Amino acid sequence: MSMPGYLGDKSENIVHHLGTMTQECNIYQIKKGDKAYFIPDTIQQALEEKYTQCKFCIKN
Ligand SMILES: [Zn+2]
C-alpha cells in the first residue's frame, strides 16, 4: 500500500494534504480514531464526503 495523500480529521471535519502539510495543520494532534482516509485518495472525494479543505496545506 502506498502512502496516503489526504488525511481527514473527523473531529474538525477538515482534510489535509500530507505532502504539503505545515506545522499549523497540527496533524500529530489528530487522535487515531479521528483519522479518515479516502477512496479514491483525492481532494474531490474528501469534499464529496463534506470535509473542508485545510487552509494551510491545500491551496485553490
Ligand atoms: Zn493542513
Q: What distance in angstroms lies between residue 44's CA and the mean position of ligand 1's atoms?
A: 16
- Asked if the model's pLDDT at residue 1 lies above 70, the reply is no
| Domain boundaries, position 33 | 6-53
Q: What distance in angstroms lies between residue 1's CA and the mean position of ligand 1's atoms?
A: 22
Is residue 58 domain-resident?
Answer: no
Number of domains composing the chain: 1
Cα 59 to Cα 1, 31, 33, 34: the distances in Å are 26, 24, 26, 23
Q: pLDDT tens digits for 12-30?
A: 999 999 999 999 999 999 9
Q: What distance in angstroms lies between residue 13's CA and the mean position of ligand 1's atoms?
A: 12
Is residue 59 domain-resident?
Answer: no
Q: Whole-angstrom Cα distance, residue 56 to residue 26? A: 10
Neighbours of ion ligand 1 (CB under 5 A): 16, 25, 54, 56-57
Q: Does pTM surpass 0.85?
A: yes
